[in-house]
Amino acid sequence: MSQKVLLSSKEINIILHRLACQLLENHLDFKNTVLIGIQPRGIFVASRLAKILQEDYGVKKIDLGFLDITFYRDDFRRGEKTLEANKTKIDFLVEDRKVVFVDDVLYTGRSIRAALTAIQSFGRPLEIELLTLIDRRFSRHLPIQPNYRGRQVDAINGEKVKVMWEENDGEDVIYLVKT
């Protein structure tokens, strides 16, 4: 196994600021917009973005939620292991609001497919957009594309993108891992 650094802490920070600005351009004061981090790893990206938007760009209030998609996945009983759930925390209704799904890596698109179903339990959103920090090209199983992307990566199937966060893993860094 070998791994190389795809993005350093500094690069991640620049990208997050750019993504925050792109979100601002489309959603301005976030009055009718909610950010939904997809469990388990999208919550770090979503929390960072919410923090940047509030601290650096003066957005007063952002509705931030975490959505667990375990029970909506299409690979139940297909793997070896029981799928383990994470916490869903959405304390607001998404009815008639603009939803931005936030995830770290977009790969096959199946998680987002599951998230599209899962979010319906919280109302009928006005529209749904997708923001992803890393977009793995050429690996989609479904017709799903991001509206906002941090960095596009050409990774072949044996490779894995590993996103690490200071609050969870000790440092901000993204690796491309070859197995």
Partner 1 sequence: MGELSVKHLLGIKYLKESDIQLIFETADHFKEVINRSIKKVPSLRDITIANVFFENSTRTRLSFELAEKRLSADVINFSAAQSSVKKGETLIDTVNNILSMKVDMVVMRHPNPGAGIFLSKNVKASIVNAGDGAHEHPTQALLDSYSIREKLGDVAGKNVVIVGDILHSRVALSNIFALQLQGANVKVCGPKTLLPKHIESLGVTVETNLRKALNWCDVANMLRIQNERLDISYFPTTREYTQQFGVNRALLDSLDKEIVIMHPGPINRGVEITSDVADSKQSIILNQVENGVAIRMAVIYLLASKIK
Binding stretches for partner 1 (CB under 8 A):
68, 70-73, 76-77, 81-88, 117-118, 120-123
Which string of DSSP letters, residue by residue, matches 91-117? -S--TTSEEEEEEEEESSSHHHHHHHH
Structure tokens given for 79:
């793997």
Nearest CA to 58 out of 24, 26, 25, 32 is that of: 24
Least distance to partner 1, CB of residue 80, Å: 9
Nearer to partner 1, 117 or 168 (CB): 117
Least distance to partner 1, CB of residue 44, Å: 20
Least distance to partner 1, CB of residue 99, Å: 15
Nearer to partner 1, 73 or 160 (CB): 73
Nearer to partner 1, 60 or 78 (CB): 78
Nearer to partner 1, 68 or 172 (CB): 68
Nearest CA to 48 out of 70, 15, 4 is that of: 15
Structure tokens given for 10:
């500094």
AA letter at 80: E
Least distance to partner 1, CB of residue 76, Å: 5
